[in-house]
Amino acid sequence: MTTPLELSDPIYHDEEAARRHLEATRWPNGAQCPWCGMIDTVSPLGGESMGPGWYYCSACKDKFTVRMGAVYERSHIPLHKWLMAFRLMASSKKGISAHQLHRTLNITYKSAWFLAHRIREAMKETDPAPLGGKDVVVEVDETFIGPQGYEFVNGKGWMQKRGGGDKHKVVTLVERNGRARSIKVERLTAADMRAVVFGNASTDSTLMTDEANYDRNIGKKFARHGAIKHREKEYARGDVNTNTVEGFFSIFKRGT
């Protein structure tokens, strides 16, 4: 069993230590060419002009580093800062924002935003199975993210629009004590919601939603449907609530 690394470990503070760690993890049997997959034809590429960590494959006659084919390929951010970002994003129970990464890693906010998005993209499920199942509760809710647009009002000048029509619309499904999945949609119509919910959740599940009209017909297709009435200041009724997905939104929105 591998002992978890401490934050004081050199791989989080030294570029050379981080590179050696990644090479040992990715290539336990020696450097492997990312282009042709060969190992025996690979040798270190020396020379001060190249810098450390370069290899040459005589089979395909190309050079490479451990960055090739990974999320940090073509990035100028040092590898030890990538590893620290991996650690912070994987261990922060309540999420971590790009602003916090910017301050902790001592990199620009633009670099922190880029780094965080690449890591999240690498964590994405490539062939996701439906959420839920028998005796599993799936909560569904929608939220609006980003600023509202502006419009010119005679006598007042440019003013921010009311409502959320210009904001990004996101529908999220969350298993209680399980996985979560967010889908960006262009509109929040009943047809759009049906496509998202039926495309991502098993109808054997117990569905929990708020009192939105389009949820009623969707809920009939599930093993059980509970709807909480937020407009009546109701937030929980026994096991009927959407507190898990709302907690997810609070964490999600702090990660910017």
On whether residue 72 sits in a domain, the answer given is no
Name residue 51's amino acid.
G
On whether residue 117 sits in a domain, the answer given is no
Q: Which residues pair with 182 in a beta bridge?
A: 172
Question: pLDDT (tens digit, 9 = 90+) per residue, 174-206?
Answer: 999 999 999 999 988 889 999 999 999 999 999
Specify the pLDDT at position 138: 97
Q: Give the range of the structural domain holding residue 238, as residue numbers without chain letter.
A: 137-254
On whether residue 249 sits in a domain, the answer given is yes
On whether residue 159 sits in a domain, the answer given is yes
Q: Is the pLDDT of residue 67 over 70?
A: yes
**Helix (H), strand (E) at residue 145:** strand 137-145
Q: Decide if 81 contacts 116 (C-beta within 8 A).
A: no
Q: Decide if 171 contacts 183 (C-beta within 8 A).
A: yes
Q: Decide if 181 contacts 140 (C-beta within 8 A).
A: no
Q: Is the pLDDT of residue 57 over 90?
A: yes
Q: Is the pLDDT of residue 4 over 70?
A: no
What is the domain count for the chain?
1
On whether residue 22 sits in a domain, the answer given is no
Q: Cα–Cα distance between 22 and 67 in angstroms, integer?
A: 9
Question: pLDDT (tens digit, 9 = 90+) per residue, 222-251?
Answer: 999 999 998 888 999 999 999 999 999 988
Name residue 229's amino acid.
K
Specify the pLDDT at position 256: 63
| Tokens encoding 197 | 């919910």
On whether residue 150 sits in a domain, the answer given is yes
> Residue 68, class by beta-carbon neighbours within 10 Å (0-12 exposed, 13-18 middle, 19+ buried)?
middle
Q: Domain with 174 in it: what CATH number?
A: 3.30.420
